[in-house]
Structures are given as structure tokens and as C-alpha cells.
Structure 1
Amino acid sequence: MFFASDNAGPVHPQIMNRIVADNAGFALPYGKDPVMDEVRASIRKTFEAPDAAVYLVATGTAANVLALGCYTQPWQVIFASEISHIEEDECNAPEFYSGGAKIKLIPTKDKMTPQALRDAVARRDPEDVHMAQRGPVSITQVTERGSVHSLDELRALTAVAQEFELPVHMDGARFANALVALGCSAAEMTWKLGVDVLSFGGTKNGCMGVEAVIFFDPSKAWEFELRRKRGAHLFSKHRYLSAQMAGYLQDDLWKTTAKLANENAAYLAAGLKARGAHFMTEPQANMIFVSFPRAVHQRLHDAGAQYALWDAPLEGPQDEDIAARLVCDWSISRTQIDAFLGYF
């Protein structure tokens, strides 16, 4: 009964097998391995972007902040939701890797709205030397509250960025979950809408530890290579990153694992609804934010269930509803979900 994080699940066997297969013999280091050529070609085909520059790093934080660093000057601001991943979970790494640029937080309970973004951008006077200047827009897809921006919602946000000639970064740690939920293509959810650079997640969706950074504008490629090296994120034995991503992309495994994770979350959500739980947001991908009585939480914790309490401690009045975050990955079984629901 493990619903704490999709970071905690096992590596998919197809990916593990690919690592083992590519462990034979010697391969050039630092991204010059032949498997990286395969990865680059596969991602370009998947995203219908033949000129895209593609790089691998080991963590989502590295992917986000190195990508943003290529589009952000120290005197600029990064526009992002106040509950964006780069605000809530990156320990000021975007500020560090951009040389001190600020994050301008757009007030929201979930998704950033076009009007709120436009208002925040418009307040920055590009001719005022005393004011932090306009910088890139960063969109978290899936959001940190488990919602998925529709294509129209993404298009409306990127339209604001284009209006002010600002680049757009997409934090796609759960990109695959969002894509499967929307039933669209990778191109439709990125560069066709005006996204300039994507952090394409693998770790949360069946990989051991690899993320891709995809520049739809290849002019930033060399700068990224320098930033990756200077930031100590260029792997020597890079083929083990390449092998993971190659296994992840093979036969669209990345979509298969995301579909399984989303379906597991939908099954869990249906069971919770049937038991009277209250949802903070409507589940759309593989994260659920839900509240139910503390007595049930205590029974679950006593039974060894692992998940995050969201707004109150485990101790307190038994009948008080308290919120939790439940995350499903591809490997969770229906038996585990049924066991969890059995404590209601």
C-alpha cells in the first residue's frame, strides 16, 4: 500500500534489460555513446521535431534549472504558478542556476491563468532599470495538484508569452501522464503550442534516473552543454542514461507505463468516491488530493500504508477530515489498491 510517490516505484524490466544489454564492452563517455544517437533520433521522431537538440541528465531538478538557465538572465524574473514544481520543490535551484533571477509567483490554487500571467508580465516595465525584467514562462504539466492543462489552456498561456516575446519552458516530470490523459501527440502538447524547451520526465514513470531536455530551438544547444558541464551534471558513463531512455522510448513504453499509472489512480479515485471521500481537485492523471476522516488515516497508517498527509497531523479528533496526497505509479497492483480501500 505505497502511495507516497511515483519516484519510489521499481524500474520497469524493459528498461533494466536495456541497461544490462548496453553494459557490454566499451562506449565513449560524456554523451558520445552510440545509444545516445538512437535516443536523439527517437525523440526527434516522437516530437516531430527533426532539428531538436536533445540532452540527458539524471534528475528532474537538473533538467528544469539548466534549461531555464539558458533562457534567463540574472536581472530577469521567471513567471510561474505559486504552486509550480520549480517553486515548491527545487530549493531555489532555478535562482542559483540562473545567477540570481527571481521567480515571479502567479497566484493560483492550481493552474496558472492567462489573465493572471498577463497582469504579472505587464507590470514589469522593460524600460525601467530599477525593475527586474521580464523572463521566461514556466508551466508545470501535470500540475502539482494533479490537474492537467488542456491544449486550449496551454495555448492561452503560450499566447500571452508570445504577446510579450517571452520563451516558454514546460516542466514535464509527468509529461507522459498528461499526454495520455489528453490523448494528444507530443508535438501537439509542446512546440506546436509555442513551447521552446521541455523537461521530459522518465524517473517517475519507470526509469531508474533519467530526464531528457529537449530544445525545440537548437540555438541554445551549445549553451546547455556548457551549463550542464559547469553545473556538474555531465555524466562520464553517459551510456547508462542513454540506455534507460532508449528502453523507455522503445515500443512507446513511456506511454504504456503512464497509462497504467493513470488507470491505477482512476481506479483508486473511484473507490474513494464510493466511500464518500472529498476531492480537493478532480483527478486527471496519477496524483490524487483527497480528504477523509482522521480515524481512517490512523487505521491505514497502523496497517503500514504510506502516503503524504497534506494539511493536518495524524493526531487529533477522529471524525475530522484531513487531506492527503496519493500517487500511483505503473507497478501498483489492483490488489494493493483494494487492500487500501478496505480500511474505510
Structure 2
Amino acid sequence: MNFASDNVVGASRPVLEALLAANDGAEPAYGADSFTKRAEEMLARVFERECSAFLVATGTGANALALAAATPPWGAVFCHAEAHVLDDECGAPEMFSGGAKIVGIPGVGGKFDPAGLEEALERYPRGVVKAVQPALVSISQVTEAGTLYTLAEIRAIADVAKRHGLKTHLDGARFANALDGLGCTAAEMTWKAGVDIVSFGATKNGGLACEAVVIFDKALAEDFPYRRKRSGHTVSKGRLLGAQMVGYLENDHWLDNARHANGAARTLSRGLAAVAGVRLPWPTQANEVFAVLPALVAKAVTGAGYRFAPWSSGSLPDGFSIGPDEVFARFVTSFATRADDVEGLLAAARQG
């Protein structure tokens, strides 16, 4: 069983059934179809307010376009030093924005705090022609360390951003997992906390290839249709994106998927913590488990056919080091994770 990522599994049945239902007949192209319109209306209900929603096929496309919408070529985006938009987008945000700079802020467990943001902003003073100009703050929710910002922490960061004239972006590739982990609403985690623009993920949680950029600031949405088209992310058969999002959101399927994935992660986390020599640097809050494994345990797990992702130690707490005979591993559960897969992995770990 592959626990290296939640991208390794396919699409959920309701999403596939929605795609098949949308496949019959003819619909207007380029997002003017009834399925896309319904998806946009459903997203507005999810966020409990009027908003502009733009469907794209990839998370990189969503993030790159979202950042570009709020950042000029001479602007700077501030994020965690290990954020996906900085480390894992192959320069797409920089390219789509025309050359904006991405500035990483250190922090334990994939999170930075308002003080760290203030310190970073001091290095890029406004009006100094030699410096890129602060434009946007981006937070990952769930973070790259599997942790969550509390609602108060999101608000505190967004308040700093607003005070300095910056917009706030939320990278929600695992948006539903974060909602389940916090036990809050989409509105509470975004615009009510000061967020202006969201990358709303579906692919990791049951979609085939579908994300949405959700914009609450009307000014940021005005030229977004042109940005999306120019970037190659306006799909001609847009109904097949719209249908995915409808199938994903309908009957709270997206939340059910996230609850299942998060529950499997909690079971895995408890089980690994009970294995001799295994150490967890922080609590499991969503569908990712980070653990320091003795080399023998790691060998037993992989030898039994279970895969995990070796991970960077850059966000570890002070004093929490990785020994020469240890492996820092990330395990990710999904809507398709089975209980016997989790138990099988734990049984293998105990053999190490």
C-alpha cells in the first residue's frame, strides 16, 4: 500500500459518476456550461457569500494564478520557507506573475507567525526602488508538515498583511481535511479570518483533476478570466471540470472523504507512537502523519510493501534531531485508505 501521498489514488465514485452523467449531450464550451455554473453556485454556498470561482485542472495552476492575480512582477509573496508555492511549483508562481519574488519565512511545523512575517516585511521596505514590493501573504492549510493554523492564527497573520497593505492567500490543496481537523466552516477559515483568495483543492480528496480559485475581493477577480485563458488553464470542455466539482461537493461528499482520511491518519498516528523507538514531532491534525522511525522499523515497513515519503527536517522543533540510524517519514492517508492497510503497516512496524 502506498502511503507516500494522497495523489496516488484515483477519483471517488461520486465524482466519476458525475463525470459520466455530464458526458452525454452538448453544452456550451469554455466554462459557459450548466455544470460549471452549478459548481460556482455550490462553492458560493460552501463559503456562505458571493464570490468569484474559477475552475482549473491542477493545484499548481490554481496557486500560480492566484498568486499572480495579487502580485505584480516587482512584487513579493511571503510564505513559509517550505511552502508548496516556494518549493514544489517549479517556478510557476514566479512565471505567471511575470517575475515576482517568493520570500520564505522559517517556522516550526510548517507554520510561520505574525512576528516572523513582520521581520520579513522589514527587509523589503515600501518605496525603495531597489527592493521588491510586498504584495501578498500565502499560508498553507494544511501545511507541508501536516499541521493546521488555528482560526486565531490565520486572523493574526491576515491582520498583519492588511496593516501593511498586502492581500492574503490560502493554499487549500487539502482544504476539506483542514476543515475537518479544525471543526469549523469554510467561511470561518477564509474570508471571516481575513483571507482574500483561496486555492480550493479537490484532486487530493476524490477529484480526478479539478481545483478552484475562489476570490472574495472583486478587484482581484476582474482580470482573472484573461489570466486563466492566457496561461492555458481555460479548458474547452469545461463541463468536465464543473461536473467533477458538483460531484465532489454534492451531499457533503468532500467532507465525508476528508473525515475518512483524517480518521485513518489518527489511527495510524496512535499506532506508530506506540512502536518502540518511533517519535512524532507534532500531533497529527489532518491526513498526514510525520514520524521519526528507527532504520530497522523503516526497513520492516518498506520490506512489507508499504511506501512512505522521506521528508525534510527543516521544520522540526529545536532540539528534535534525526539520528544517523533514523528516518524522518511522511505517511499520507486518503478517502480510499482501508483499515486493514493501516493495521498491516502497523503490524510491519512492530516487527522492526
Instruction: Name whichever of 28-37 and 115-124 sits farther off.
Output: 115-124
Partner of 1:315: none
Question: Structure 2: 5+ residue runs without aligned partners?
Answer: 314-322
Partner of 1:301: 302
Q: Give 1:319 deviation, angstroms.
A: 8.9
Partner of 2:178: 178
Aligned residues: 338
Residue 342 of structure 1 aligns to a residue in which SS?
helix
> Pairwise mapping of residues 125-140 of structure 1 onto structure 2 (< 5 A)?
125-140=125-140
Partner of 1:101: 100
* 1:311–1:99 Cα change, 3 Å: closer
How many Å separate the matches in 2 of 1:249 and 1:31?
18
Question: Structure 1: 5+ residue runs without aligned partners?
Answer: 313-317
* 1:23–1:279 Cα change, 3 Å: same
Partner of 2:60: 61
Residue by residue, what CA displacement relative to the aligned partner does 1:41-89 show, whole Å, maximum 9, x if unpaired? 1111110112x11110000000011011111111111011101110121
How many Å separate the matches in 1 of 2:196 and 2:161?
11
Residue by residue, what CA displacement relative to the aligned partner does 1:182-224 show, whole Å, maximum 9, x if unpaired? 1111100000111110000000001101001101012332311
Contact 1:292 1:321 in 2 (8 A): yes
Partner of 2:347: 342
Contact 1:77 1:132 in 2 (8 A): yes
TM-score (norm 1): 0.96
Residue 70 of structure 1 aligns to a residue in which SS?
helix
Partner of 1:330: 335
How many Å separate the matches in 2 of 1:311 and 1:302?
22
Give identity over the alignment, percent. 42
How many Å separate the matches in 2 of 1:122 and 1:272?
42
Superposed CA RMSD in Å reads 1.4
1:5 and 2:5 correspond: yes
Residue by residue, what CA displacement relative to the aligned partner does 1:138-184 show, whole Å, maximum 9, x if unpaired? 11100000001000111110010011121011100011101111111
AA of the residue aligned to 1:291: V
Partner of 2:214: 214
Partner of 2:260: 260
AA of the residue aligned to 1:330: F
Contact 2:135 2:165 in 1 (8 A): no
* 1:30–1:288 Cα change, 3 Å: same
Contact 1:293 1:319 in 2 (8 A): no
Contact 1:78 1:104 in 2 (8 A): yes
Runs of 4+ in 1 over 6 A off after TM superposition: none
Contact 1:146 1:281 in 2 (8 A): no
* 1:16–1:162 Cα change, 3 Å: same
TM-score (norm 2): 0.93
How many Å separate the matches in 1 of 2:231 and 2:308?
33
AA of the residue aligned to 1:287: E
> Pairwise mapping of residues 162-177 of structure 1 onto structure 2 (< 5 A)?
162-177=162-177
Residue 186 of structure 2 aligns to a residue in which SS?
coil
Q: Give 1:280 deviation, angstroms.
A: 2.4
Contact 2:155 2:193 in 1 (8 A): yes
AA of the residue aligned to 2:72: Q
How many Å separate the matches in 2 of 1:255 and 1:236?
29
How many Å separate the matches in 1 of 2:343 and 2:324?
23
Instruction: Name whichever of 16-25 and 289-298 sits farther off.
Output: 289-298
> Pairwise mapping of residues 1-344 of structure 1 onto structure 2 (< 5 A)?
1-50=1-50, 52-109=51-108, 110-276=110-276, 277-310=278-311, 320-343=325-348, 344=350
AA of the residue aligned to 1:227: R
How many Å separate the matches in 1 of 2:21 and 2:48?
28
AA of the residue aligned to 2:281: M
Q: Give 1:311 deviation, angstroms.
A: 5.6
Contact 2:52 2:218 in 1 (8 A): yes
How many Å separate the matches in 2 of 1:60 and 1:100?
20
How many Å separate the matches in 1 of 2:312 and 2:261?
25
How many Å separate the matches in 2 of 1:247 and 1:311?
35
How many Å separate the matches in 2 of 1:79 and 1:221?
21
Residue 279 of structure 1 aligns to a residue in which SS?
coil
Q: Give 1:129 deviation, angstroms.
A: 1.2
